[in-house]
Amino acid sequence: MQMFGASEVTLNAKVQALEVVTRMACFSQGQRASFPQLLAALAMTEGYLIQLAPGEGKTLAVAIAAVLIAWTGKPLHIVTSNDYLAARDGELMSPLYSACGLTVSAITGETPPHALAACYRESVVYATAKQFLADHLRDDLLLLGARDPVRRRLWHLQNSRAEKHPVMRGLYAVLIDEADGILIDEATTPLIIASPEEDKADMMTAVRLARHLVEQLKAEVDYVLYAKAGNVVHFTEKGKRTIEALSTAFSSYWQVPTRREEIFNLAIMARDVFQLDRHYIIKDGLVVIVDESTGRSMPGRSWSHGIHQSIEARVGVDLTPLTKISARMTFQEFFRNYHRLSGASGTLHGLDMELWKTFGLFILRIPPRTTSQLHIFPKRTYRTRDDKLAGFIAQVEAFNRLKLPVLVGTRRILDSEEIAGILRGKGIHCTVLNAKEHEFEARIVEEAGEFGCVTVATNMAGRGTDIKISPEVESAGGLQVLMFEAHESSRIDWQLFGRAGRQGAKGSAQAYVSLEEELIAKFTPSWFKPLAALMPDRLHMSAKIKLMQWLAQKHASDLSSKQRSHLAFLQKQIREQLGFSKN
C-alpha cells in the first residue's frame, strides 16, 4: 500500500495519517496509544531521536512511526537489539501493519539465505544492526560497489540470469530501537565479511605450537600487556631473545622476527585477554563468540587476523580455516548511508552534542505519563569481591524471604553461574539467562516478575526486556533489581535498572561495588590513586569507592567518545578524498 507520494510528506498530512494509525492500533492491537507515544512517533518521522522512559511503550511508538514512513512506498528497516526482539516485535506488531495495508518480516540468525530477498521485499523489516550491515556488505560485494540506483539497475540488466542477486532494496529509512546502543556503544565496532584464505598450513601449525610455547613467557618480564591502550602487547628485549631461542628448532616460517612475534602475540591474547564464558563459549566443539553488550552468543561469527584460531588452539578444539577480509564497515559509517535516520531509547542523556556532530540528529525528550516509583537505593560498597558477593547473596535472600521477584544482573556468564550455584546451595530456586542458557528466554522473561521468582541474567535481560508484574506483586513492592558489577557506561547500568518500576509501577534497584572490580582497576585515572592516599581518614571508604567508580566510568566513557570522534574524522577525510578522486 502506498498512501503518500514519493515526495516529502507535509506535517499536516502526517497528523491526519496519525489519527488513522491510532485508530488502527486500537482496533488491531487493543492498545490506545498515549500522547507521549503519538508525539514520539510523529517526531521520529521528522528525523528526531526520542528519549522515552523505560516502559512508556517504545515498541508501539516505533511501529506507528514505521507505518507513516512505509506508506511512502519506500523500504523501511527497524533495528532491534537482538534476534529475539526482532522476532517478538515483528510478530507483536503484525496485526497493526496488516490493518494498515502493509506487510512485515523479521530476519534472524535462523532465516535461511535463500529467504532473505523475500523478507526484504516486505514493507517493514525487523532485524539487528549486524544483520542489516552484513546483508548490505554482501550486496555491495556482489554489485562491485554500485550503490546508486542507476548503476544498480544497470547491474540487474546485465546480470538478469545470474545465480545470485542483491537481497536489499536500498537504504532509505531506518528506525533504531535502543538507538544509543547502536549509534554510540557499538559505533566503532566493525562488521567484517570474510572469505577463505589461501593455504596457510605453516601458520596453522605455528598457532598450535605457540599455544604451548607461550607458557614459557613471563608477564612484565618478557612482555607487557597494555590493557588501557586496547590490549596492546609489547615485547621486551629479553622477551624477543626468549622468543628467538624458542623458535630456532622450527621451520623457516619462525625465522622472520616480526612473524614469530605476531604468533606469540596471538597466543598471549588468547591466554590473557579473551576469557572463556565471557568473550566466548564452547558449544558443540566450536568457539562461539559472546557479544558483551547484549550477553548473547553469535554463532557463525569469528575473530579475524588469527585470533579465533589461537583461541581454538588454546581450548583444544579443531582449528577453523583462516579467512581474509573481503569487506568491512563500522556501524557509525553504515547508518550515515541511510537517507532517513531516527529512533528511540530510554538512555540518551549526555549524548546531544556527539549525536548531532556525527549524525546530525537532535534529541527530543518526552516526559513520562506517570511519576516514577522506582526507588534507587544507594550503592553498596566493599573492599573485596568476596565481601561483595556475600553481601549480595544476603540481599537476594532477604528479598526472597519476602517472596518479591528479583532480577540479578551480571556482566559475565561465570558470575551468573557462580551466583546461581550459591543460591541453589542455599535452597533458593533460581533461573539463569545467559548465552549458554537461552533456549527458553521468552518463558524465563514471562515468569521473572512472579512472586518468589529469582532470575540471574547477563545483559540479555537488559535492553528491550519487558518483565510484566501482576497488581499483587506491584502492591507488595514490585520487581527488585540487583546489579553485581557496573558497566563501563552508566547508561547500560540504567538499562538494567529500567527493567523495574515500568509505567509508574513500584520497584527498586541497587548496585554493588568493590575495589577489586575490573572497571576500577582498568579505568580509574592514574592521577587519582596518589590523591586518594592523601584523602583524610574521616572521608569514609564507601565514599572513596563510589568516587573511584564514578571516575572510572567517566574516564571509560570519555575514551570511547574520543575514539568515536576520531573515527568519524577519519571517515570524513576518506569520503572527501574519494570524492576528489572521482571528480
- The answer to whether the 198-321 and 373-516 domains have the same CATH topology is no
| Residue that the C-alpha cell 545483559 belongs to | 459
61 has a pLDDT exceeding 90? yes
Q: Do 336 and 359 contact (CB within 8 A), yes or no?
A: yes
What is the predicted pLDDT for the residue at 583?
43
Average pLDDT, stretch 443-460? 88
With a CB cutoff of 8 Å and minimum separation 6, the contacts of 233 are 223, 224, 225, 226, 265, 268, 269
148 has a pLDDT exceeding 70? no
Average pLDDT, stretch 403-410? 94
The count of residues in the chain is 583
With a CB cutoff of 8 Å and minimum separation 6, the contacts of 310 are 207, 210, 211, 266, 267, 269, 270
Average pLDDT, stretch 371-394? 92
Confidence of residue 188 (pLDDT cuts 50, 70, 90): confident
Question: Under CATH, to which class is 373-516 assigned?
Answer: alpha beta
Confidence of residue 4 (pLDDT cuts 50, 70, 90): very low
What is the predicted pLDDT for the residue at 298?
83
Residue bearing the bigger pLDDT, 223 or 228: 223
Task: Give the domain ranges of the chain.
Answer: 11-191+331-366, 198-321, 373-516
What is the predicted pLDDT for the residue at 580?
46
| 11-191+331-366 fold | Rossmann fold (3.40.50)
Q: Which of 152-161, 238-247, 296-305, 443-452 has the lowest mean pLDDT?
A: 152-161
Share of the chain above pLDDT 70, in %: 90
Q: Which of 16-30, 377-391, 422-436 has the lowest mean pLDDT?
A: 16-30
User: How far is it, in rounded angstroms, from Cα 97 to Cα 244?
Assistant: 65
287 has a pLDDT exceeding 90? yes
User: How far is it, in rounded angstroms, from Cα 282 to Cα 175?
Assistant: 34
Considering the domain delimited by 198-321, tell me its CATH architecture.
Alpha-Beta Complex (3.90)
Confidence of residue 418 (pLDDT cuts 50, 70, 90): very high
Average pLDDT, stretch 104-128? 95
145 has a pLDDT exceeding 70? no
Average pLDDT, stretch 389-418? 95
Rounded to whole angstroms, what are the CA distances from 337 to 417, 439, 463?
41, 35, 25
What is the predicted pLDDT for the residue at 77?
98
Residue 562 burial class via C-beta count within 10 angstroms: exposed 0-12, middle 13-18, buried 19 and up: exposed
Query: What does pTM read for this prediction?
Result: 0.83
Read off the C-alpha cell for 142: 556482489
H-assigned helices in 49-169: 58-70, 83-92, 94-99, 116-120, 129-143, 149-158
537 has a pLDDT exceeding 60? no
Residue bearing the bigger pLDDT, 195 or 290: 290
